[in-house]
Structures are given as C-alpha cells and as structure tokens.
C-alpha cells in the first residue's frame, strides 16, 4: 500500500496566521483558552520537559498540565511555576490537546504516551512518540488529522523501520535511510501521513508538513539556520501544542486535515519569528532555545496586532 499520486506542494502563506491564532475576549477564562497536557522529558532528558513546557506557557495557552514523575514535577514547579503538575494516569485529565514525546525514550512514560495516542484527543507527537505511532499503525490503529507527528529525518527513518518490521505489507518498498528522506522530503512525509492517518511535519532547514491524507505538503523555509541546535525541537513541540489546544478548545469536532497542517505551519512560523526577535533586526546569530522561548510573547503580540 502506498500513495499513488504525488502531493501538491505549496508554501505556507503567513498571511493566514492571524486567523489561526486565538486572542482571548472579554468572556474568556483559562478553560476556554485551551488546556494543554504535556508528557515530555524523562530522568535522562529533563531539559526537554522544561523547554517544551516553557514554550507552551509563553505561547499563551489557558493552562499547561504537566504529567511527570515527582522529580520532574519538582523541576517544572521551580522553573515554570505557571504549569500545573501531577503524577498518575494522563487519561484522567481533562485537556484539549497533548504535547508528547520530546525527551522520552524509554520506561513507563512511553506507556502513558501510547495510551494517549490511542485516543482521539489532538496531540503533537515528537521524538519518542514517533516510533510509538509506527507501532500503533502497524497494529491496525489509524491515527487522525488532529495527531501531528513531528519527526526529524532520522526519526522518520525509524518510523518506517518500525512500521515495516511489524507490518511489511503496509508499504510497497524498503524502509528509507535518513539520507533518502533528506533527498525527497515531500515523498516521505506524505507517505508517512497517508500510511498513519496523522498530519506529519518533517523538520529540517525547510519544514515539510503533509496533510493526513498525504495529498498536500505545506512548506516553511524562512526560519534562521541558527535554529539547528539541540532543544529547538522541544521548543517547537510546546509552541505547537499550545496552538493546537487553543484551536481544539473552540472546536468540539475534528477540523479538516488542512487546518491541522496550517496550525503546524503556524507553529513553525511563530518559532521563527520569536527567533528573529532574539537579535537586532537584520542580524543573525546563535539562538539558544531558552532565549527564543523568552521572545514568544512578543512574537505572538506582533502577530495578533496585525
Ligand atoms: N536537555 C534535554 O533534556 C534535551 C533533550 N533533548 C531530547 O534528546 C532526545 C534525543 O535527541 P535526538 O533527536 O538527537 O535523538 P538520538 O536518538 O540521540 O539521535 C537520533 C538521530 O540522530 C543521528 N545522530 C546522532 N548523533 C549524531 C552525530 N553526532 N552526527 C550525525 N548524526 C547523529 C542519528 O542518526 P544515525 O547516525 O543513527 O543515522 C539518529 O538518526 C530527544 O528526545 C530530544 O527531545 C534534546 O532536544 C536536547 C536537550
Ligand atoms: N537549517 C535549519 N534552518 C532552520 N531551522 C532548522 C534547521 N535545522 C533544524 N531546524 C529546526 O530546529 C529544530 C530541530 O529539532 P530537533 O532535531 O527535534 O531538535 P531537538 O530534539 O534537539 O530539540 C526543528 O524545529 C527544525 O525545524
């Protein structure tokens, strides 16, 4: 099984950003502004939790509910006191969307992510969530357009390796190497979307976002290459989770596949705009992810004032 026709490829139109972002109104309260559940970070990678949660809070969601171990929760409470922390079963929490997987590579947190990805609740699935998505798809589960997977090329290669190891009949061909994915990102992102049913955002210098039916790929290519640094992806997970939760809080039914691809592209664009605000206009230089996250409120304010 594979996608027969090449997808249409289109650059994301940043003019659509104001319509995709939700500013609060007089009657808003935190629960109408979107509640984002966050299941990122681990004892090995606590920084990924801190960066994704900080980014989500600074993107302006109504509430971040972080699910961690007591050690991770302690760190989050110290560094991002806005986030509400808990241990226990994530399925018992009322959230509009999830941010999953950054900095989670093993252990019981993966089982929690698997449980969340098995529901229809909207979710951004990064890093450790990507092979889990492949395992679920190989087991017969179809993901949905409101599930947004965000692999880099290495993680997308792992996705296909898992998929074809567990369900060789799902795809007509061999699992690609990382270099093959980098050579044809449109093809591989759209195949992954078509096979999984999820929206697939392939990270890189140019971001390629395939709609869940595999028919369209949106591109974003304006971001500074200085974003190529560890922790940028964790930050993007938080931004995207926040935009997704805000959207879902206003929509009880899943929106069209294009909307989720546009939300993902909006997150990449907001990330780029915040990074542009780190330096004097017209100049470029190092972009430590925590510095970028600090500019998110200014970036959002700029976009919402248009
Ligand atoms: N403070 C924190 O908590 C932070 C936590 N973080 C978290 O860390 C986790 C791991 O991140 P990661 O994406 O790099 O995954 P990892 O499995 O290591 O590699 C996967 C791919 O990379 C490649 N590769 C590796 N080394 C290479 C090299 N030297 N030169 C070239 N290629 C190399 C390798 O390719 P291969 O060579 O195997 O083909 C493979 O495809 C992730 O969950 C993230 O959220 C970070 O965001 C930062 C801060
Ligand atoms: N050359 C580049 N130009 C612009 N952005 C880039 C470039 N390379 C990587 N990025 C961005 O940096 C981030 C890297 O994500 P990822 O590899 O998952 O990092 P990590 O897991 O270490 O946080 C992504 O948001 C990606 O789009």
Q: State pLDDT tens for residues 207-264.
A: 999 999 999 999 999 899 999 999 999 999 999 999 999 999 999 899 999 999 999 9
Ligand 1 pocket test: pick from 230, 289, 292, 293 the residue with the most ligand atoms within 8 Å of its Cβ.
230
Q: State pLDDT tens for residues 119-137.
A: 999 999 999 999 999 999 9
Give me 225's structure tokens.
């290459």
Q: State pLDDT tens for residues 39-86.
A: 999 999 999 999 999 999 999 999 999 999 999 999 999 999 999 999
Kindly state whether residue 236 falls inside one of the protein's structural domains: yes
Kindly state whether residue 114 falls inside one of the protein's structural domains: yes
Q: Is residue 155's pLDDT more than 90?
A: yes
Q: What is the pLDDT of residue 233?
A: 98
Q: What is the pLDDT of residue 207?
A: 98
Distance 217 CA to ligand 1 centre (A): 25
Percent of the chain exceeding pLDDT 70 equals 99
Distance 230 CA to ligand 1 centre (A): 8
Whole-number Å distance between alpha carbons of 27 and 25 = 5
Report, as an integer, the average pLDDT of 96-106: 96
In this structure, the residue with its CA closest to atom 12 of ligand 1 is: 127
Give residue 110's domain range: 8-304
Q: Is residue 201's pLDDT more than 90?
A: yes
Angle value at C-alpha 52, between 72 and 195, nearest 5 degrees:
110
Atom of ligand 1 nearest to the CA of 101: 43
Q: What is the pLDDT of residue 2?
A: 75
CATH number at residue 168: 3.40.1190.20
Helix 46-59 with 70-79: angle, nearest 10 deg: 40
User: How many domains does the chain fold into?
Assistant: 1
Kindly state whether residue 1 falls inside one of the protein's structural domains: no
Give me 76's structure tokens.
């989050």
Report, as an integer, the average pLDDT of 258-282: 96
Distance 265 CA to ligand 2 centre (A): 14
Angle value at C-alpha 295, between 289 and 296, nearest 5 degrees:
90
Q: Is residue 161's pLDDT more than 80?
A: yes
Kindly state whether residue 182 falls inside one of the protein's structural domains: yes
Give whole-number Cα distances, 168 to 101, 188, 197, 220, in Å: 25, 17, 17, 32
Report, as an integer, the average pLDDT of 6-33: 91
Kindly state whether residue 81 falls inside one of the protein's structural domains: yes
Residue 237 phi, psi (nearest 5): -60, -45
Whole-number Å distance between alpha carbons of 10 and 163 = 28
Here the ipTM equals 0.86
Q: Is 103 annotated as a binding residue?
A: yes
Q: What is the pLDDT of residue 162?
A: 96
207 lines ligand 2 (CB under 6 A): yes
Q: Is residue 172's pLDDT more than 90?
A: no
**Distance from CA of residue 44 to its chain's centroid?**
21
Kindly state whether residue 2 falls inside one of the protein's structural domains: no
Kindly state whether residue 242 falls inside one of the protein's structural domains: yes
Distance 219 CA to ligand 2 centre (A): 14
Whole-number Å distance between alpha carbons of 233 and 101 = 11
Whole-number Å distance between alpha carbons of 24 and 88 = 31
Q: Is 283 annotated as a binding residue?
A: no
Please spell the DSSP secondary structure of 196-241, one letter per residue. Answer: HSSEEEE-SSSEEEE-TTSSEEEEE--S-GGG-STTHHHHHHHHHH
Whole-number Å distance between alpha carbons of 299 and 60 = 11
Q: Which of 34, 262, 58, 5 is nearest to 146 (CA)?
A: 262
Whole-number Å distance between alpha carbons of 259 and 50 = 28
Q: What is the pLDDT of residue 305?
A: 87
Percent of the chain exceeding pLDDT 90 equals 87
Mean pLDDT of the chain: 95
**How many C-alpha atoms does 184 have within 13 Å on its Cβ side?**
10
Whole-number Å distance between alpha carbons of 227 and 243 = 20
Kindly state whether residue 157 falls inside one of the protein's structural domains: yes
Query: For residue 25, what pLDDT band results from cuts at 50, 70 and 90?
Result: confident
Distance in Å from the first CA to the final CA of the chain: 45
Q: Is residue 158's pLDDT more than 90?
A: yes
Give me 11's structure tokens.
């650059």
Query: For residue 11, what pLDDT band results from cuts at 50, 70 and 90?
Result: very high
Q: State pLDDT tens for residues 57-67.
A: 999 999 999 99
């Amino acid at each position: 099984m594979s996608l027969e026709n090449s997808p249409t490829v289109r650059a994301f139109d940043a003019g659509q950003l104001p319509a995709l972002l939700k500013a609060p109104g007089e009657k808003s309260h935190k629960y109408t502004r979107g509640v984002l559940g966050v299941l990122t970070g681990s004892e090995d990678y606590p920084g990924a939790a801190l960066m994704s949660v900080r980014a989500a809070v600074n993107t302006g969601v109504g509430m971040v509910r972080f699910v961690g171990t007591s050690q991770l929760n302690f760190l989050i409470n110290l560094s991002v006191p806005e986030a509400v922390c808990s241990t226990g079963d994530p399925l018992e929490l009322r959230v509009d969307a999830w941010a999953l997987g950054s900095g989670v590579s093993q252990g019981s947190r993966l089982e929690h992510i698997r449980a969340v990805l098995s529901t229809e609740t909207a979710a951004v699935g990064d890093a450790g969530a990507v092979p889990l998505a492949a395992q679920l798809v190989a087991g017969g589960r179809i993901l949905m357009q409101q599930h947004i997977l965000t692999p880099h090329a290495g993680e997308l290669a792992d996705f296909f390796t898992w998929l074809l190891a567990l369900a060789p009949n799902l795809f007509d061909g061999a699992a690609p190497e990382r270099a093959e994915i980098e050579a044809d990102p449109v093809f591989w992102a759209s195949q992954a979307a078509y096979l999984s049913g999820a929206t697939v955002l392939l990270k890189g210098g140019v971001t390629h976002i395939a709609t869940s039916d595999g028919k369209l790929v949106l591109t974003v290519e304006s971001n500074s290459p200085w974003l190529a640094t560890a922790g940028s992806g964790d930050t993007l997970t938080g931004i995207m989770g926040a935009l997704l939760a805000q959207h879902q809080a206003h929509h009880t039914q899943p929106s069209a596949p294009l909307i989720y691809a546009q939300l993902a592209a909006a997150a990449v664009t907001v990330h780029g705009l915040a990074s542009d605000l780190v330096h004097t206009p017209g100049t470029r230089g190092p972009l430590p992810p925590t510095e970028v996250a600090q500019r998110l409120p200014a970036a959002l304010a700029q976009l919402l004032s248009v």
